[in-house]
Amino acid sequence: MTDFKGSGYYRANAVLSPKSSKSKHPELENASERLGVTLGRKWRVVLSLLIALHVLAVTAEPFRFFSRSSRGTSPVADPGRELLAPYVEFAYLSHGYFFFAPEPGPSHLIECRFQDVQGQQLSLRYPDRHAQWPRLLYHRHFMLTENLHQIWAPPVDLRVFGEDEALGRQWRADRKRYEKVRDSMTNHVAVTFAAEKVELDRVEHRLPSGEEVLERDPPLKLDDPSLYLVLPDSELPEARMPPVAGPESNDSQRGKSGQ
């Protein structure tokens, strides 16, 4: 027979066995009772409710997002999200869960052109993972440029709104908001680099298609210059402006259709 008394297996079981722990390590006998903290029933209930509330707040936003459709958000998800809104907003649990989706869309950057105090023409692109470090700083710049793209309102001829005054007021408010955010960015760059005038362009960085990566030789890289597109910030040509039908034109269309 094999003698296990001199083996590591025997020594380990001897130390871990209840009998040996009482004889060799009596100080460990009631370690759990001495180190543990016993909570009363009242505190356990309170902590359980707080944990459940936090879990609900964490799941409320993605549940409402994934249950929405072209008709709006789900009436099942809205009440809980609205009830937990103060805590969700305070803890910043309402960020976009679709950001790193299986099919992410293009990213949006800004490019600033200016002349420094020495007369050199400079161009900076934000965000820049080589210039903004650590990674969290790059991510903060990325959120700023994405937000600028989200709130962008194109400049249009006011005639496009026709007699819809409410739509015109909404556009003015949206455009004013965009211009304030854009100007705050250009002013910051001007102060940082002592530049008199800063021009800002929005840039879209699209992802290459599967054919561009798999079938091209050599494959198209993610940072290829052809994937960057400067987005315009100018009025549409008059020929492309969609007319807004007023009440009179709608009546005339009904009359033609009735004939």
Give the torsion sign (CA, 77, 78, 82, 88).
Answer: positive
Question: What was the pLDDT predicted at 186?
Answer: 96
* Share above pLDDT 90 across residues of the chain, in percent, rounded to a whole number: 44
Contacts 24+ apart (CB under 8 A), 46-50: none
What is the pTM assigned to this prediction?
Answer: 0.57
What residues does each domain of the chain span?
41-90, 107-239
Contact 145, 224 (CB under 8 A): no
Question: What was the pLDDT predicted at 117?
Answer: 84
More confident residue, 183 or 241: 183
* Share above pLDDT 70 across residues of the chain, in percent, rounded to a whole number: 73
Question: What was the pLDDT predicted at 182?
Answer: 97
Q: Rounded to the nearest 5 degrees, what angle is found at the Cα of 134, between the Cα atoms of 131 and 139?
A: 80
pLDDT in tens, 120-144: 999 999 999 899 988 899 999 999 9
Q: Mean pLDDT over residues 37-51, rounded? A: 89
More confident residue, 85 or 241: 85
| Among 181, 229, 174, 183, residue whose Cα is nearest residue 202 | 229
Question: What was the pLDDT predicted at 4?
Answer: 47
Radius of gyration of the chain (CA): 32
pLDDT in tens, 94-111: 876 555 655 678 999 999
Question: What was the pLDDT predicted at 163?
Answer: 85
What span, in angstroms and rounded, lies between the C-alpha atoms of 50 and 65?
A: 24
What is the average pLDDT score of the chain?
Answer: 80
pLDDT in tens, 10-36: 444 444 444 444 445 555 555 545 556
| Among 105, 114, 112, 183, residue whose Cα is nearest residue 146 | 105
Q: Mean pLDDT over residues 49-76, rounded? A: 86
Question: What was the pLDDT predicted at 69?
Answer: 73
pLDDT in tens, 166-216: 999 999 999 999 999 999 999 999 999 999 899 999 999 999 988 888 888
More confident residue, 71 or 9: 71
Q: Rounded to the nearest 5 degrees, what angle is found at the Cα of 169, between the Cα atoms of 167 and 173?
A: 115
